[in-house]
Amino acid sequence: MNKYIWIGLFCIGLTSCQNKNSETKTQDKQSKETSAVEKKELTKPEETEVWEPKPKQINVDPISKIPSDALVLFDGSNFDRWTSSVDSTAVKWIMNDDGSMTVKDKTGDIQTKQNFGDVQLHIEWRSNPESSVTGQNKSNSGVFLQNRYELQILDNNNNETYVNGQVGSVYKQSIPLARVSAPTGKWNTYEIIYRQPIFDSVGNKIKSAYITALHNGVLIQDHFEILGTTEYIGLPINKPHGKAPIKLQDHQDKSGVSFQNIWVREL
């Protein structure tokens, strides 16, 4: 090809590049000018006010302290919302005259008939004042979220054990931030905020479960990422699941743990 033709093509290409660069600079300048307008100083308070959506109104009972949108799981009158985890028959735990229930040894765990996902859970529990054993056998029970993630219940008053298995721990996963137990035989309160894990269409976990918990009003688990099932032996397991029951444990060692005033809010 003639060298003059090559020179001509080169000049055309160079001019095209220069034009594109010029267009880009112009667009950048316009973008910056637009951004400057958008970031102009706000001078009126209503410019940053948001009016929608409005939060729903929830009323709290002045006596029971139960929110109006909560589902009462146990109020001391019956076991209607619970079933045996062993065989789905009627609950065999002990109903007490004071409105509480107590684990009946070796009758098995109990669980809610209803399945839950994200929840705020309120539960009150009491260790057995007559228990004389030590370690993991002293008033051992647990709150299992979605039937598989345990927040430990244990009497650790003058009773040491491994710290990731003590009262308030996410069993074998997270040591509580503080030990806040009431004296043995007195009532404790757990306030739990739980967010369920998310699995994709083929069963892979794409988002972990998280738990925040307060024991007697004190933060003990701060948005902890649950690693998987809380196993007694071995590492956490992550199998896909949906909503599932809330379970209370019979440790089958004469734990004598009692429960009262259990309610839940779906989030």
| Cα 1 from chain centroid (whole Å) | 74
Query: Nearest to residue 174, comparing CAs of 185, 161, 165, 183?
Result: 165
- State the pLDDT at residue 60: 97
Contacts for 85-90: CB closer than 8 Å, 24+ residues apart:
85/109, 85/110, 85/111, 85/147, 85/245, 85/247
SS3 assignment, position 14:
helix
Q: For residue range 76-130, what is the model confidence (pLDDT) as tens digits?
A: 999 999 999 999 999 999 999 999 999 999 999 999 999 999 999 999 999 999 9
Query: By the 8 A CB rule, do 151 and 188 touch?
Result: no
Q: For residue range 210-232, what is the model confidence (pLDDT) as tens digits?
A: 999 999 999 999 999 999 999 99
- State the pLDDT at residue 8: 47
Residue 25 has pLDDT above 80, yes or no: no
Query: Nearest to residue 121, comparing CAs of 85, 155, 150?
Result: 150
**Its pTM surpasses 0.95:** no
Sheet harboring 141-145: ordered strands across?
82-84, 110-112, 247-248, 141-145, 149-153
Query: What is the distance between the alpha carbons of residues 195 and 13, in angstroms, rounded to a whole number?
Result: 59
- State the pLDDT at residue 240: 98
Domain ranges of the chain: 1-43, 71-266
Homologous superfamily, domain 71-266: Exo-inulinase; domain 1 (2.60.120.560)
